Structure 1
């Protein structure tokens, strides 16, 4: 079945994007496969909602800013299409790439992510950070993850809604939904895309230091969400071998077993047991998904 035979809903989270949202909506409205255009105005203080509505989008308004993830959840609940396409409202994503994502989805995939090519990151520091997240996620899932934080993706709505309660309200929703799909055994593929420079008058809402700390916390969330033992077991081994090394040192130098060695060994066991319990809880979270 061709993708224009299905109802495709495009969801665009937007905050203070009045300078770009009209052009974004206008370009998407010309695509024959798009049947529903939803812009979620996340507490904008400019004319984002008015410009989006004039361009032909259905607008969902938040009375105050709740976060990018919260806007995604509001749009997903409002959408009625079988397929959801998520895009940014700053003009970076190309409307002509939507068809490519939909073709991959219709070919038998569960989620298709637009993977930004080298040079498509906002800046050098963001590029390095995203490369680190991609490597970590690839190790966690055992599959190559080419763009963990991309906000441009197409997904089957019924599958996406199953994980809605897991999504945070902030900027880490792409990370969370990607890991959740991998954990549930769904097929996630990446389609290479080029991104435009931000349109004049638009700016990233991500702050390097503040959101950098949040992304570090996301790393730990990834581990506990996907496979806790992959995170806790290496830490447990670290404590164990540190304790073993310290014990050998004290045994050779003083001929005794110290309290510090005992503490390190006990910590190793406790960390492992916490990881084991977390693994069982994670299994329960995904028990109702059909892989």
Structure 2
């Protein structure tokens, strides 16, 4: 199974980190198109992305990750979407291939990463239910752009989980022990980072509710074990 793969990279003020990520994605033999959604950055993220050879969709002002991805999905084409966060460290071409292969080979319908610095609980359970790195059919999410626009800024992953589970899709978890995503406290300072983490948790609960989140974690854990 093949088909065109569009890689979406949502980014906000990631000029110091996105270059390394795009160095892996741009030119990767399995990726047909790399589209960076620059979500109101003020630090030159778009310029770094263009120099790396990626297409850039600029949004002004900042709209939050969910709406940024909705814009990227609307601008995408092809059969598959590969979602990659812009701030990863340690990402290699082999990691990307490992995330793509289970879906293209038909062993899974969607795939999710499990980064080396994911919370210990997620590593113990074997799944990170809000992983930002995924491979999925574009037809799963493209019909729901209006719904995405009504979600909180960080409601995308749990919304996508609901679609996956409602459609009975088979997930595969790909462990990335050498890949990390820096904590918000590292990127923004301790107090701003803590506030951002708190707002993200609130958005997740607003998007689905605590019982739905728990149900998603339980169901995904059962499916990948």
Residue 161 of structure 2 corresponds to residue 175 of structure 1: no
Partner of 2:91: 94
Q: 2:167 aligns with which of 159, 184, 188?
A: 184
CA spacing shift, 1:181–1:14, aligned 2, 3 Å: same
Distance in 2 of aligned mates of 1:161 and 1:187:
19
Aligned length: 205
Does the 8 A contact of 1:9 with 1:37 survive in 2? yes
Distance in 2 of aligned mates of 1:217 and 1:25:
28
Does the 8 A contact of 2:83 with 2:133 survive in 1? yes
Q: Deviations over 1:225-250 (max 9, x none)?
A: 969xx8xxxxxxxxxxxxxxxxxxxx
Partner of 1:208: 194
* Aligned-residue offset at 1:220: 6.2
Partner of 2:138: 157
* Aligned-residue offset at 1:33: 1.2
Partner of 2:111: 112
Does the 8 A contact of 2:114 with 2:126 survive in 1? no
Partner of 1:265: none
Structure 2: gaps (5+ residues):
216-225
Structure 1: gaps (5+ residues):
122-126, 136-143, 231-291
Partner of 2:18: 21
Does the 8 A contact of 1:7 with 1:83 survive in 2? yes
1:11-160 aligned at under 5 Å gives the runs: 11-92=8-89, 94-96=91-93, 97-108=95-106, 109-117=108-116, 120-121=117-118, 127=119, 131=122, 146-160=127-141
Q: Which has the higher helix share?
A: 1
Distance in 1 of aligned mates of 2:23 and 2:153:
27
Flag the structure with more relative contact order, 1 or 2, with Cα contacts below 8 A and sequence separation at least 6: 2
TM-score (norm 1): 0.61
Distance in 2 of aligned mates of 1:78 and 1:29:
18
TM-score (norm 2): 0.78
Does the 8 A contact of 2:115 with 2:180 survive in 1? no
Distance in 1 of aligned mates of 2:81 and 2:139:
9
Q: Secondary structure at the match of 1:215?
A: helix
CA spacing shift, 1:223–1:197, aligned 2, 3 Å: closer
Does the 8 A contact of 1:21 with 1:51 survive in 2? yes
